[in-house]
Chains A and B, each alone.
Chain A
Amino acid sequence: MRHLLSTRDLDRETAIEILDVAEDMADVAIREVKKLPTLRNKTVINLFFEDSTRTRTSFELAAKRLSADLINFSAKGSSVSKGESLKDTAQTLAAMGADAVVIRHSASGAPRVLADSGWIDAAILNAGDGTHEHPTQALLDAFTIRKRLHGSASRGRDLDGVAVTIVGDILHSRVARSNVWLLNTLGASVRLVAPATLLPPGVEHWPVELGFDLDDAVDAGPDAIMMLRIQAERMHAAYFPSAGEYSRQWGLDDERFNRLRADTMVMHPGPMNRGLEISSRAADSGQSTVLEQVANGVSIRMAVLYLLLSGAVEQGRAS
């Protein structure tokens, strides 16, 4: 694995290997000494063109636990916030000897452009690009589902037969895209629920079931239901009429939460809009995996950094 740009590129074997390595990394987190010397002398750069304290911090923690040197290079608001300078920024980082670049960018495909450009030789890790993909989020979600289902017997397992419902703004969600491809690769069945305005064009060709009605999806009794963050500004572009209507139609309120199976996982990539797409009761219940997702995020990012920088997965395994 040379780069991690999308989950679409991952085959089942590689995906499971990442999840398994993350299990090992999770074991490190519960030791007294939480640090491994594995990536000593490696330089990891967090290149964030978009604010994201959570994701940036998660990668930072992951790199530090592996003893890598971690530099935060915030491009937001500085002279490098525009795309033309992606090249200059990349070449600057290359000159500084970066071994891996974790990039978050508002433009879909920016990590791919960086990886294909020849401007920099480092491993490129997509930490969220526009409305395209957010592969480590999907990996940590899959890890979380597997862990809840199989606990300490998770290693080596896929998600065959697991039913996952993703609800909300699929159109603008990189989390949804990465999850659809990865969950499908791992054998899970995915159902998307959203108003028609927030489904991507051509979604009928995706390997998913589609629905507009959240009540139907709730009553179908999924193993996990993933609520996506809705941006209230979307109503200004006529995607839906009001936050209230969105919440009534596509929010996981108490009544819908009560109707879920008692063991249905309630997932959210965060940050949550409590009272809008998810009720506090659902978010704070024992079924909620929200905080596990955060913790697992560090393990997944450690696993990916380790695999990219130690060359542990042979090139070519990931297509």
Chain B
Amino acid sequence: MKLLITGATLPNGEVTDLLVENGRFAEASDSSKGATVIDASGLQALPGLVDLHTHLREPGFEQSETVLTGSRAAAIGGFTAVHAMANTSPVGDTAAVVEQVHSLGRHHGYVTVRPIGAVTAGLSGERLSEIGAMARSRASVTVFSDDGKCVSDALLMRRALEYVKTFGGVIAQHAQDPRLTEDAQMNEGTLSGELGLVGWPAVAEESVIARDVLLAQHVDARLHICHLSTAGSVEVIRWAKARGIKVTAEVTPHHLLLTEELARGYDSRFKVNPPLRRDEDVQALRSALADGTIDIVATDHAPHPIESKEAAWDDASFGMVGLESALSVVQLAMVDTGMLGWPDVARVLSSKPAEIGRLVGYDRAFAVGSRAQFTLFDPTASRVFDVSSLRGKGVNSPYLGRQLPGRVITTVHDGYPTVLDGELVDAATVAESAGRLDD
């Protein structure tokens, strides 16, 4: 398959044609003949987005999402790679499970699916899972996380940090002190006190991060912190980085835009873990992403069936879908506010998450010879985000009915299109393209 992209604007502002051949970028001046032409004039070309934090729910929770439906949600959002969290059933704590998820991703072909391995067997927080077997499996797992649960035992966390060094991996910590957040429902503060909802205090996140950066320093290991949500967490990460500790951090799009005020009406679409925080936290997270204290944006895409959200707040599930809306929300919160430029977006949503996950092929975006992973985005578009904007199974988006800027027009994964003219390429065609590449 040969693609000629004409008049695309690269992140650095350069307007150019791009030739894609055999899955890679080629010299545009040569053999463009016979190529399928995609007009990208006026569109922002970005390297394929890489999500370090996705819940694909398969195996075990296929009523919420599958590898296929989650991959489609990712592609329409401009992603070409996602890292799938291990809290499936069975848990992704063995080579067999991660290889299954990995191979489903390859088969469907919309994105590269990289399974994340559980840190502890069964996410029980009691003993390490078979990290080595997962690292050496065909899925080549490099990121390990008990996400959804915190590795709260200090000794176990220490051992996990040390042990993954053996395989060049990283522990991605869901920082949440379990005792400080028993039955927690929303950010602890004046509003939780008024609403009578059990609070999730910022200190429950910050204290775990503080402990873990010190552990990472002590054993000289890499540490990644999932979904930072408080201004205090930013301060701890800033302090740790200044001391040379090998810590990276992510923020979700929703924590960059939404505040706890949305809980006021008890609409469970806004129930998420960690919870939406105060406006001061949102502002601190934005500044930290802009100055590099926070390294990346990751979606924490968390689909749920309708019935688990159509309930009283306490009874509803935590989580929001985010793959389809991520780039638009980042544009709204960071680009349109002048805090990030497009080269920065390319960094926080592609090259840096790929680097943290040791995902190859994302370090030289658009360079001749590099794998062709990219998306064409129309930042001038504006749309009311609604259920028809979603492509996964979950409709638990906090943005329904909201005006969002920007729209993904084209996504190309491994040199073949997964999204064209703003719509997904059909599953059979994508699977065929992916299969041809495998041959």
Q: Show the binding face of A for B, using Cβ within 8 Å.
A: 82-84, 86-87, 105-110, 112-113, 116-117, 129-133, 171, 174, 177, 200-203, 205
Contact = CB atoms under 8 A, between A and B. Distances in A.
Contacts of A86: 310-312, 315
B195 A132 contact: yes
Contacts of A205: 190
Contacts of A109: 195-197, 266, 312-314
Contact of B196 (A117, A129, A203): A129
A201 B260 CA distance: 14
Given A84-B307, A108-B266, A201-B188, A113 B312 contact: yes
Given A110-B312, A201-B190, 16 more contacts: A83-B312, A83-B315, A108-B196, A109-B197, A110-B266, A112-B266, A113-B268, A131-B197, A132-B196, A177-B196, A200-B193, A201-B189, A201-B193, A201-B199, A203-B193, A205-B190
Contacts of B197: 108-109, 130-132
Contact of A82 (B191, B196, B310, B315): B315
Interface string B255-273: 0000000000111100000
A174 B197 CA distance: 11
Contacts of B308: 84
Contacts of B191: 202
Contacts of B296: none
A109 B195 CA distance: 8
A107 B266 CA distance: 10
B314 A106 contact: yes
Contacts of B192: 200-202
Candidate in B192, B267, B312 with the most chain A CB atoms within 10 angstroms: B312
Contacts of B199: 201
B313 A84 contact: no
Contacts of A177: 194, 196
17 contacts: A83-B311, A83-B316, A84-B308, A84-B311, A107-B312, A110-B313, A112-B265, A113-B311, A116-B266, A131-B196, A177-B196, A200-B193, A201-B188, A201-B193, A201-B201, A202-B190, A202-B191
B87 to A, nearest CB: 20
B193 A105 contact: no
A86 B309 CA distance: 11
Interface string B287-316: 000000000000000000001101111111
A84 B196 contact: no
Contacts of B201: 201
Given A113-B266, A174-B196, A201-B199, A108 B307 contact: no
Interface in B175-208: 188-197, 199, 201
Contacts of A116: 265-267
A110 B191 CA distance: 17
A107 B189 CA distance: 18
B314 A107 contact: yes
A117 B194 CA distance: 22
A201 B187 CA distance: 10
Given A133-B196, A200-B193, A202-B190, A105 B265 contact: no
B314 A130 contact: yes
Most buried by A among B193, B265, B308: B193
Contacts of B190: 201-202, 205
Contact of B194 (A84, A87, A202): A202
B260 to A, nearest CB: 11
Nearest to A114: B312
Contacts of B195: 108-109, 132
Nearest to A200: B193
Nearest to B315: A83
B200 to A, nearest CB: 11
Contacts of B266: 108-110, 112-113, 116
Contacts of B316: 83
- Of B268, B308, B311, most buried by chain A (CB within 10 Å of CB) is B311
Interface centre among B189, B196, B201 (most CB of A within 10 A): B196
Listed from nearest, the 7 A-B pairs whose CB atoms lie closest are: A83-B315, A202-B190, A109-B266, A200-B193, A132-B196, A107-B312, A83-B311
Interface string B315-343: 11000000000000000000000000000
A105 B191 CA distance: 20
A48 to B, nearest CB: 14
A108 B192 CA distance: 10
A156 to B, nearest CB: 30
A116 B312 CA distance: 11
B193 A107 contact: no
A116 B266 CA distance: 10
B121 to A, nearest CB: 30
Contact of A84 (B188, B193, B265, B315): B315
B309 to A, nearest CB: 9
Contacts of A106: 314
B310 to A, nearest CB: 5
A105 B266 CA distance: 14
Interface in B51-79: none
A200 B193 CA distance: 5
A245 B194 CA distance: 28
A107 B313 contact: yes
Contacts of A174: 196
Nearest to A131: B196
A253 B265 CA distance: 41
A110 B310 CA distance: 11
A117 B316 CA distance: 14
A94 to B, nearest CB: 15
A132 B194 CA distance: 7
A205 B196 CA distance: 15
A110 B193 CA distance: 16
Contacts of B193: 171, 200-203
Interface string B193-234: 111110101000000000000000000000000000000000
A110 B185 CA distance: 14
Nearest to B183: A237
Contacts of A131: 196-197
Contacts of B311: 83-84, 86-87, 113
